[in-house]
Structure 1
């Protein structure tokens, strides 16, 4: 690892990256704990599919593959598992029986709500340990970080290892 104070590009330092990595690990730990608290064994990719389905109304395997950055066969297997355990439902798309529509079930919504609720509770506990000024700074920084991350995640990833 480079020295934390060594400039990288545009004034960034290795310490900046390390802080972001620590935050990412913290968010991942909160998500993992939330998934465990929900009591069902779903993987993070499966949780992402449920999240997508909760906002999209109906998805197909191609959309899931694109959102997860995986081959359509992998997306299909992930969705098949969610259908098998009753968290997603599958039906033929109206007008094109070659396509399927995937929608979140009530059980899937309850699971997603439980995971999200636990994350919300933990994040509130964390924010409660901060001063008003710290909370404001974190909120502003995370809003900017999220916007930048969305731009990066929507861009082609041919340049990433």
Structure 2
């Protein structure tokens, strides 16, 4: 245990426990993506969740979030507009600025994904002893706070809006 103990402090069992829980949460996220993969690609879902969590975006913000060139972001968003999941509106003052927002269908699709995740997590919580549920929730809050409280808005992995 010498090497592991020095690398992870005196908490290798705690690290492993958190990794196991994280694995379960990632499986929950992955299963919810499977539910909508016949309608949107992974990058498209990332765009929809970004807009759902942060509000209307422009193409530059989408390109930065996806880590792609503006032309790739434009193609991704064009497909979402064509599919009726995203709306595009030009700014009246600056015609170069395009505002992207969710349509009702886009909002419903993101809602389906996030609801699936919440249901799956609730199901796991229900299988736990009742006395442990609050402890787990408090521990997870504390863990998130220790990490800076910043969640992820990548639609493949985010588990909710935080609110």
TM-score calculated relative to the size of structure 1: 0.74
Deviates more, 1:38-47 or 1:59-68: 38-47
Picking from 87, 105, 108, the partner of 2:106 is 108
Map 1:77-156 → 2, pairs under 5 A: 77-147=75-145, 148=147, 150-151=149-150
Count residues with an aligned counterpart: 151
**Structure 1 unpaired stretches of 5+:** 154-161
Kindly report the root-mean-square deviation, in angstroms, between the aligned alpha carbons of the 2 structures. 2.9
In the alignment, the residues of structure 1 paired with residue 116 and residue 57 of structure 2 have an alpha-carbon distance, to the nearest angstrom, of 26
Map 1:38-57 → 2, pairs under 5 A: 38=36, 40-57=38-55
Structure 1 pair 143–94 and aligned structure 2 pair: CA distance change class (3 A)? farther
Which structure would you say has the larger RCO, counting Cα contacts within 8 Å and 6 or more residues apart?
2
Structure 1 pair 22–110 and aligned structure 2 pair: CA distance change class (3 A)? same
Deviates more, 1:62-71 or 1:52-61: 62-71
Give the match's secondary structure for 1:67. Answer: helix
In the alignment, the residues of structure 2 paired with residue 94 and residue 54 of structure 1 have an alpha-carbon distance, to the nearest angstrom, of 23
In the alignment, the residues of structure 2 paired with residue 27 and residue 47 of structure 1 have an alpha-carbon distance, to the nearest angstrom, of 18
Structure 1 pair 6–32 and aligned structure 2 pair: CA distance change class (3 A)? same
Structure 1 pair 98–12 and aligned structure 2 pair: CA distance change class (3 A)? farther
1:32 Cα deviation after fit: 2.1
Structure 1 pair 150–113 and aligned structure 2 pair: CA distance change class (3 A)? same
Q: Which residue in 2 is equivalent to 1:8?
A: 7
Q: Which residue in 1 is equivalent to 2:61?
A: 63
